[in-house]
Amino acid sequence: MKRWKKRIPGLMILISIGLNILGRTSQIFADSYVNYIFPIWVSSYGRITGLFPFSVGEWMLYLGVVFILILAAGSIIYLIVRNKVPDKWNSRYRKYVLFIYWVTGIVCVIMTLNCFLLYQTSPINERFEIGGNSEKEYGVDEISVLRDYVVEQTNALAVTFERGENGYLLYDGDMKKEAKKQMQRLGNQFDSLKGYYPNPKGLFLSGFYSQQYIMGYYFPFSMEANYNRQMYITNMPVTMCHELSHLKGFIREDEANFIGYLACVDSQDSLFRYSAYLSVIGYLERDFRKAVGEEAQDDFSHPQISELAAFDKKFLTQEAWERVEQRAVLKTETVKQAADTFLNTTLTLNGVKDGTISYSRVVSLLLQYYDGILY
């Protein structure tokens, strides 16, 4: 029995490696896993973690950091004094190392099942009918029409909201309930989006995530969708839907952006529609300028983004940023650089070669979706 205790973690690591290889070599396997097996984890384990009012995954992350620090410190101390300690301490240290071995095996399995395999699925426009033609090349005419449409919708909505003295938008609806409702509605279009959804949860240390410019987070270890509590309210609806889409196996960021947009844009709640348009307007504007050239800077034949819409297109308010900086332990530039490096490395290792630039590929999906609707 003792031998098996030592062998099981190694077996878990080998299984994880095997599953990753299989996922990278067979999209059929990856698609089948996401369609039939992955939903089981969300409907079972996700229901349990969903009972907690706080983000279980966030606290797992912090405990993991503390655990690693203790491990590093303990190992260094042991290596220094190992010849001077009683034999019983040597035995305890070996048990400690075995425990770490088990944790490593468990981490490998969870990350493989709840994250890595999801990156190996077929693209959303191959798995589902989203309109248009996935092989069609869209040019300046289509991007101009789509960009103008989103700008017009955004400008029209911007003037409809009640605002406070500082100009910030006010809202009193049940955002979490509406986010789940819209995701379930979208399940009529994409079968994978049907089923159970937990409540999105606000991150406790939202200030630290603000320094990383992170709006939301999906924790594979707890199957939770999390959002930044300190970001400006217009970001929240689409971020909640974006993170909930990860729980249904859509791990690629451009696809989650697309699903978040679709979930919000047809809502009866005007803030959700506004959030949808604002979430993609920056990507569209950039691609539009690139498509038409520099002369577009002075081309007023296209509608311009209104001052009010531009005001609402913010990550944090000035007051929120001041609170973040006042409480920050590390400089925001340092945290942001480290977060960007980690995220780009993670995406690249999972086959997303262009890293965080992949977020903007939502424009291609939108161009295909609106083919036959706008042009």
User: In DSSP terms, which residues pair with 218 in a beta bridge?
Assistant: 225
Distance between CA atoms of residues 357 and 306, nearest Å: 26
Q: Which of 120, 151, 184 delimits the end of a domain? A: 120
Q: What tens digit of pLDDT does each residue of 20-50 get?
A: 999 999 999 999 999 999 999 999 999 999 9
Q: In this structure, are 162 and 223 located in the same domain?
A: yes
Decide if 340 is inside a domain: yes
| Number of independent structural domains in the chain | 2
Are the C-beta atoms of 178 and 266 separated by less than 8 Å? no
Cβ–Cβ under 8 Å, residues 197 and 182: no
Could you identify the residue written with the tokens 């003037």?
159
The pLDDT assigned to 339 comes to 64
pLDDT string in tens for the chain (375-residue length): 566 667 899 999 999 999 999 999 999 999 999 999 999 999 999 999 999 999 999 999 999 888 888 877 877 877 777 666 666 666 777 777 788 889 899 999 999 999 999 999 999 999 998 987 777 888 888 999 999 999 999 999 999 999 999 999 999 999 999 999 999 999 999 999 999 999 999 999 999 999 999 999 999 999 999 999 999 999 999 999 999 999 999 999 999 999 999 999 999 999 999 999 999 999 999 999 888 876 555 566 889 999 999 999 999 999 999 999 998 877 787 767 776 676 667 667 666 655 444 446 899 999 999 999 999
Phi, then psi, of 354 in degrees rounded to 5: -95, 15
State the pLDDT at residue 80: 76
Q: Say whether both 46 and 163 belong to one domain.
A: no
Same domain for 199 and 342? yes
Same domain, 155 and 288: yes
Q: What is the pLDDT of residue 358?
A: 44
Nearest to 374 by CA among 123, 152, 129: 152
Q: Are residues 112 and 139 in the same domain?
A: no
The residues near 342 (Cβ < 8 Å, ≥ 6 apart) are: none
Helices 236-246 + 175-186 axis angle, to 10:
50
Length of the chain: 375
pTM of the model: 0.89
* Pairing relationship of beta strands 216-219 and 201-202 according to DSSP bridges: unpaired
| Same domain flag for 168 and 106 | no
Domain containing residue 82: 2-120
Per-residue 3-state assignment (H helix, E strand, C coil) for the chain = CHHHHHHHHHHHHHHHHHHHHHHHHCHHHHHHHHHHHHHHHHHHHHHHHHCCCCCHHHHHHHHHHHHHHHHHHHHHHHHHHHHHCCHHHHHHHHHHHHHHHHHHHHHHHHHHHHCHHHHHCCCHHHHCCCCCCCCCCCCHHHHHHHHHHHHHHHHHHHCCCCECCCCCECCCCCHHHHHHHHHHHHCCCCHHHCCCCCCCEECCCHHHHHHCCCCEEEECCCCEEEECCCCCHHHHHHHHHHHHHHCCCCCCHHHHHHHHHHHHHCCCCHHHHHHHHHHHHHHHHHHHHHHHCHHHHHCCCCCCCCHHHHHHCCCCCHHHHHHHHHHCCCCHHHHHHHHHHHHHHHHHHCCCCCHHHHHHHHHHHHHHHCCCCCC
Same domain, 245 and 299: yes
Q: Do 79 and 161 have their domain in common?
A: no
Domain co-membership, 144 together with 166: yes
Do 138 and 61 lie in one domain? The reply is: no
Tokens (6 digits) for 296: 């577009």
Burial, 340: exposed, middle or buried (Cβ in 10 Å; 0-12, 13-18, 19+)?
middle
Please, which residues bridge with residue 374 across strands? none
| pLDDT score of 89 | 65
Q: Which pLDDT does position 273 carry in this prediction?
A: 98
The reply to whether 374 falls in a domain is no
Q: Give the model's pLDDT for residue 350.
A: 64
Which residue, 120, 144, 173, sits at the end of a domain?
120
Rg (CA), the chain: 23
Cα–Cα distances in angstroms (integers) from residue 113 to residues 23, 25, 27, 126, 314, in the given order: 10, 16, 15, 22, 35
pLDDT at res. 166: 93
- Residue 126 falls within a domain, yes or no? no
pLDDT in tens, 161-185: 999 999 999 999 999 999 999 999 9
Q: What's the rounded Cα separation, in Å, for the pair 91 and 97?
A: 10
pLDDT (0 to 100) of residue 297: 55
pLDDT at 99: 85
